[in-house]
Each structure stands twice: as C-alpha cells, then as structure tokens.
Amino acid sequence: MKQPAEREPAMHTCALIVAAGRGTRAGGPRPKQWQALAGMRVIDHTVLAFSQHPRVAQIAIVLHADDMVEAACFEARGITVTAGGAERSQSVRAGLAVLPPCDAVLIHDAARPCVSARVIDDVLAGLESYDGVAPGLPVTDALWTGSGGVVTGVHDRSALFAAQTPQGFRRHAIIAAHTTYSGDAADDVAVARACGLEVAITAGDADNIKITTPGDFARAEAILQTRKEQTMDIRTGNGFDVHAFGPGDHVMLCGIKIPYERGLVGHSDADVGLHTLTDAIYGALAAGDIGTHFPPSDPQWKGAESHIFLRHAAQMAREQGFTLTHVDCTLICEHPKVGPHAGDMRTVVAEMIGIDVARVSVKATTSERLGFTGRGEGIACMATATLVKS
C-alpha cells in the first residue's frame, strides 16, 4: 500500500465492461446482457452508468465472438470493442490489451446494470491509496454446508464479503497480474491477490445486483425505476406578456397571421403568444426572459419573427438535458376571435418546439369587457411550460 501523498493528483480512468458470457441461467432468447430491461438492453444501462460518470474518460467492452455484430453501435460512440475468450480471465486480458491509455481501470460485469455513481466514486477514492480496490457487502445471513437436504455444518460469516464490481486497479498492476496468471478465476481480485497485490474493500451496494436468474430482471427494473423517480427533475415555468393595439391590418398570434383592423405594437413582430411561451420555458430553466437573450435595445431584433425566440428557448432546454413535455397558452382578448385559429396555432407551436401537437394547448378567454383587454386596447397572454430531466 502507498500513501495518498505519493499518488499523482488526478488519475486518467477507463472502464472495461466484460460482456462475453452466455448467462444461460437467466433464460431468454439471448444472453442476459442483450435482453430488455427498463426500456433498454441490460448492457446499455451498464454502459450508461460509466459514460455518465465524470471521472471515467473512456470505455472498452469485451463481447463474445458471436456478438461482435453489436460492436458498431458502441464504436460509433467512441467505445473500444474487442472479442473475448472462452473464460472470463481470457476476456479481461483481451480487454486490457485494447484499453485506451489510462492510469486506472474499472473492470465491471455487464450483467450489473444498477451500479451507482457512489460505488464507482468509492472505488476510485480507494485507488488513491491502493493498487487494487473492490466493493463488497458483508455477509449477514448464516452460512451452512449441506448434503442430502440436511445441514452438515455452520461457517463463521464475520469476515466474509459478497464480491461486487467494478473492481478497480492501477492499470500497470492488473496487466502484470493477468500476464503472469494462468487458468481461470472467479474475478479480477482473485487474479490480483494471486500475484501479491493488496486489494482494499469499499462499501458495496445491495442494489448493485448481478442478473443471474430470470427473477433478477424484475428486481433490476424496480431498482432502476425507483432511482429514476428519485432523480427526476421536473420544472414548471410561467410566462405573462401584454401588447397594445396599434396601426396595422393583422396580428401575429402563436405563429399564425390573423387579419384584423389593427396590429400589435412591439419591438419584434409582437406575437404575444410566442413571447409568453418563450418566457415560460426560460422561467422553467431559471434563465431570465426574452429581454435577457434578445435585448430590445439591440436593433438587430427590431421586427424579428418571434419564432426565433421560442426556438432558442426550446433548444436551450434540450441542451441542458430537459424534455419539453407540455405547454399551455391562454390568450386574453375580446378580438380577434382565436377559436377558429387555435388548431393551426397548436400545430405551428408544436413544430417550433419539437413536440407532439397533443402536448400543446392554445386557448382563449375574455376579461368580460373589464380592464384594458376588455376595452379592446390590447391582448394579454399567460402560459405554462413543463420540462422534465431524468
């Protein structure tokens, strides 16, 4: 063991995902790593856990030779793929041979799709002091030996751990261990210890299950669904805008040109509907309002078509990882009549923000001839937008 001060301050870390097994005990038409789980394949969840981790720079995957047809979809994402061997240790050696340059490697079973960022973090933290680190769960159940359906003995569980992955190693150390090791091994800790490496134990996670039998799919799906619900980020934003009537022969409302005896006054095309929807999206992102991004003091926006603003807000939401799930717009005016145009407005807005028209609501109301809208002096609008990130 080395002290943390002797380590370089930042490790370049790669993940090696072993997916060459056949997993026949799990049942199903294909090996377990290719079977469906919570809307994706098992292996896709596993790869996602590492690709989203900020300290994992690159990923390599070891596939069975019969599964190499799947390699292209991973390689297109910058992931290195190679074929494995008949035994797990052979597959790991094949993966280490093609691993991108790195200081440390996290070796993980593809059949553990529920690995958490916390487990990965702990292993990486341990590598600051050790050449090998692996997560484990203390065994809490009583342990028996048995024969013929009866208990023949009891084992002390006080120093026993259930091994998990990822098992992390300094790259040079685990390559050296696999180079000198012969035969198969249950995991890479066994290989490392056989070659004299000291392997530290970090806290495992009960949810970091390995899919082995058919019942494990339902358990893994429940874990992933619960995690999704706990981490889902739902935002709601509100917008409100007013434009006064002025000279003109039409108004722009939610992207539709409606003939009318007057127009609306504004720095841009004065589309009060699109302005309000735009501010609702910016509000959900806590990103200010239209004036923040398109200042009225800037002459380039004079007379601009308001779809520019709405498309910008929707794109900003996507870039921040949000899905725009619903917008609701209420136009407040006595005239012109909005009802005959509401369907076209919904279609246009849906196209602008890239969502299904069924998720766009456009409606109108009057203020019962009260206030400036009731006197026909202008149009007001309020809107709500819902964003979801998971």
Express as a percent the part of the chain with pLDDT over 90. Answer: 88
Output phi, psi for 338, to 5 deg: -90, -35
Q: What is the pTM of this model?
A: 0.64
Q: Is the pLDDT of residue 1 over 70?
A: no
Looking at the fold, whether 121 and 246 belong to one and the same domain comes out as no
For the chain, helix (H) and strand (E) counts, in that order, are 12, 19
The rounded distance, in Å, linking the Cα atoms of 211 and 185 is 19
**Helical segments of the chain, H only:** 42-51, 71-75, 88-98, 117-126, 171-180, 188-194, 215-231, 272-284, 290-293, 307-319, 342-353, 371-374
Looking at the fold, whether 238 and 357 belong to one and the same domain comes out as yes
Instruction: Among 213, 231, 249, give the residue marking a domain's end.
Output: 231
The rounded distance, in Å, linking the Cα atoms of 242 and 271 is 10
Q: Is the pLDDT of residue 7 over 60?
A: no
Strand partners, 363: 330
Strand partners, 104: 13, 170
Q: What is the average pLDDT across 52-78?
A: 95
Q: Is the pLDDT of residue 130 over 80?
A: yes
Taking a C-beta distance cutoff of 8 angstroms, is the pair 354, 360 a contact? no
Looking at the fold, whether 273 and 141 belong to one and the same domain comes out as no
Looking at the fold, whether 212 and 81 belong to one and the same domain comes out as yes
Looking at the fold, whether 217 and 284 belong to one and the same domain comes out as no
- Determine the 3-state secondary structure of 126 from DSSP: helix
Looking at the fold, whether 78 and 226 belong to one and the same domain comes out as yes
Of 223, 22, 21, residue with least CA distance to 119: 223
Q: Between 11 and 148, whose confidence is greater?
A: 148
Of 163, 232, 261, residue with least CA distance to 204: 163
CATH number, domain with residue 301:
3.30.1330.50
Domains held by the chain: number: 2
The rounded distance, in Å, linking the Cα atoms of 261 and 41 is 59
Looking at the fold, whether 210 and 345 belong to one and the same domain comes out as no
Looking at the fold, whether 25 and 133 belong to one and the same domain comes out as yes
Looking at the fold, whether 53 and 188 belong to one and the same domain comes out as yes
The rounded distance, in Å, linking the Cα atoms of 220 and 228 is 12
Instruction: Among 231, 260, 285, give the residue marking a domain's end.
Output: 231
CATH number, domain with residue 131:
3.90.550.10
Instruction: Take residue 206 and report the two structure tokens written for it.
Output: 């009960």
DSSP code, position 222: H
Q: Between 107 and 266, whose confidence is greater?
A: 107
The rounded distance, in Å, linking the Cα atoms of 56 and 189 is 20
pLDDT by residue (tens digit) across 73-99? 999 999 999 999 999 999 999 999 999
The rounded distance, in Å, linking the Cα atoms of 241 and 271 is 10
Instruction: Take residue 56 and report the two structure tokens written for it.
Output: 């994992």
Instruction: Take residue 350 and report the two structure tokens written for it.
Output: 């849906």
pLDDT by residue (tens digit) across 252-287? 999 999 999 999 998 889 999 999 999 999 999 999
DSSP code, position 166: P
Cα–Cα–Cα angle for 390, 217, 65, rounded to 5 degrees: 100
Instruction: Among 231, 263, 281, give the residue marking a domain's end.
Output: 231
With cut-offs at 50, 70 and 90, classify the pLDDT of residue 108.
very high
Looking at the fold, whether 209 and 316 belong to one and the same domain comes out as no
Output phi, psi for 4, to 5 deg: -55, -35
Residues 6+ positions from 358 with CB-CB distance below 8 Å? none
The rounded distance, in Å, linking the Cα atoms of 145 and 107 is 31
Instruction: Take residue 145 and report the two structure tokens written for it.
Output: 């030996």
Residues 6+ positions from 206 with CB-CB distance below 8 Å? 137
Looking at the fold, whether 325 and 277 belong to one and the same domain comes out as yes
The rounded distance, in Å, linking the Cα atoms of 260 and 248 is 8
Q: In Å, what is the CA distance from 171 to each residue of 75, 129, 163, 226, 339?
A: 22, 14, 20, 34, 67
pLDDT computed for residue 390 by the predictor: 60
Residue for token pair 């702990």: 122
Of 104, 99, 106, 88, residue with least CA distance to 47: 106
Domain range spanning residue 212? 4-231
Instruction: Take residue 289 and report the two structure tokens written for it.
Output: 């309002």
Looking at the fold, whether 166 and 89 belong to one and the same domain comes out as yes
